[in-house]
Structure 1
Amino acid sequence: WQPLSELIEEASPLLREPLTALAAWSTPILARRAQLAESLVDLTGTWARDNTRNRNVFEALKARGLSDEVASAQALRPYVQQWKRVEDLPAAWHVATSGESATRHLIYAIGDWEESYTGESTLFGHASDDEPATLLRRTTWLPEPHATPSFGLPNDWQAQVRKGLLPDSCVGHSTWTSRTDSSGEAVTRYLHADEMFVRRTLYPRPLTVMARRGEAPIVSVEVFMRVESEDTSLEGSRR
Structure 2
Amino acid sequence: MRPGRPTGPVRTALAAVATAVALTVAAPTAVPAAAATDPDGPLRVATELPAPRFWNGAGAADGGFEADLAQALAARLGRPGVVVVPVPFARIVRGRFAADLALAQVTITPARARVVDFGVPYLTVDQGVLVRRDGPDPRNPGARWGVARATTGATAVRTVVGAERVRTYANAAKAFAALRNGAVDAVLIDVPIARAVAADSGGGLKVAGGVPTGERYGAVLRRGAPGNTAVADALAALVADGTVARLEAAAFGGDPGPVPRFLP
- Per the normalisation by structure 2, the TM-score is 0.29
Question: Which structure has the larger Rg over C-alpha atoms?
Answer: 1
Highest RCO, 1 vs 2 (Cα 8 Å, sep ≥ 6): 2
- Per the normalisation by structure 1, the TM-score is 0.32
Name the one with the larger helix percent.
2
Name the one with the larger strand percent.
1
